[in-house]
Amino acid sequence: MITQRQSAAHTERPRTLTAVIFDVDGVLLASPHEQAWREALEGFAEPDRFTTAMYQAQVAGKPRLAGALAALEALGVPDAARQVAVYAERKQKRLEALIAAGHVKAFPDALRFVVAIRALGWPMAVASSSKNANGMMRTIRLPSGESLFDVFGANVCGRDLKKGKPDPEIFLLAAEALHIAPAHCVVIEDAPAGIAAARAGAMGALGVARHDDAALLHAAGADLVVTSLDAVAVDALAGGRLCQVPA
C-alpha cells in the first residue's frame, strides 16, 4: 500500500529536493532495538505487553533515556522516572549482545535506494539518535564492497543533543553538515517522532511503514508514506519531486 498526504501546509513548503537524510533503525537496518527493549523489561513489566505498535508509537526514534521513560510510563510501571536509568542500561547491554550475535540485517529495498540516490550524485547524510548505529552500519556491505557506513557524506549518528526527536536538531545538524538548506532535504524515517522532527525542521518527510503503521506516519505529517523504498519514484526525485512510482 502506498499513500500520499495532501494538505495546504504541505503544498506551501518548497518541493525542490536535492539531498537525502536517512534514519538508520527501521529505515536502513532491521536492528534488534525493539527486541532489546522488550527483553530488558523483565522485572519491570510483562515483556509481551511491549508490542511493536507501542515501540513505534512511544519509543522508536527517541534518545535512549527518553525512550526508556516513555516505555515505562506507557506500561504503567510505578516510579518510572526512578527506574529509567536502570532499564536503559539493561537494554543497552542486551542490544550489544544481540548485535554481537549477528542480529542486524539490512533492508534490501533500502540498499537499492541508497545505491540509486548515490547514482544521482545527491548528497546523503545519516542521522540516528542511536550510539550503536555506526557500528551496525559497518557490518553491512553494498554490492560495491563498501560498508554502508562509508557511503554517506555526513554522519551525525549518536551525537549528544540538547533535545531528541521530535525536536529537529539532529536533522538540522545533518543538513548543515551537507551544506544544504533544510528546505531542500528529504528525511526518510519510520517513526512518528522522526517524521515530526523533519516537519519541525521544514524538511520533506518520507515515511517508511514497515509495521502496518502508515496512519501514524501520516498523522505525524509525512509527505509520502510507502511500505518499501522501491515504491519511491527515483526519476521524479532527480527532478526534486517526492512521489510514488506510477501504478
Q: How far apart are the first and last CA of the chain?
A: 11
CATH architecture of the domain 33-100 equals Orthogonal Bundle (1.10)
Residue 15 is predicted with a pLDDT of: 55
**pLDDT, tens digit, 9 for 90 and up, residues 107-120:** 999 999 999 999 99
C-alpha–C-alpha distance, residues 83 and 97, integer Å: 22
C-alpha–C-alpha distance, residues 239 and 120, integer Å: 10
3-state secondary structure of 99: helix
Residue 46 is predicted with a pLDDT of: 94
pLDDT band at 10 (very low <50, low <70, confident <90, very high): very low
**pLDDT, tens digit, 9 for 90 and up, residues 18-75:** 999 999 999 999 989 899 999 999 999 999 999 999 998 889 878 889 999 999 999 9
Grid coordinates representing 136? 551496525
Residue of 108, 135, 128 whose CA lies nearest to 188 = 128
pLDDT band at 14 (very low <50, low <70, confident <90, very high): very low
The ranges assigned to domains in the chain are 3-30+104-238, 33-100
Number of Cβ within 10 Å of residue 179's Cβ equals: 10
Name the helix (H) or strand (E) containing 172.
helix 169-178
Residue 9 C-alpha from the chain's centroid: 23
**pLDDT, tens digit, 9 for 90 and up, residues 190-240:** 999 999 999 999 999 999 999 889 999 999 999 999 999 999 999 999 999
* Summary mean pLDDT of the chain: 91
Grid coordinates representing 205? 518527510
- Judged against a pLDDT cut of 60, whether residue 187 lies above it is answered with yes
C-alpha–C-alpha distance, residues 134 and 84, integer Å: 24
Select 3-30+104-238's CATH number: 3.40.50.170, 3.40.50.1000, 3.20.10.10, 3.40.50.450: 3.40.50.1000
Please state the length of the chain.
247
Residue 6 is predicted with a pLDDT of: 41
Q: Which residue reads 508509537 in cell numbers?
A: 57
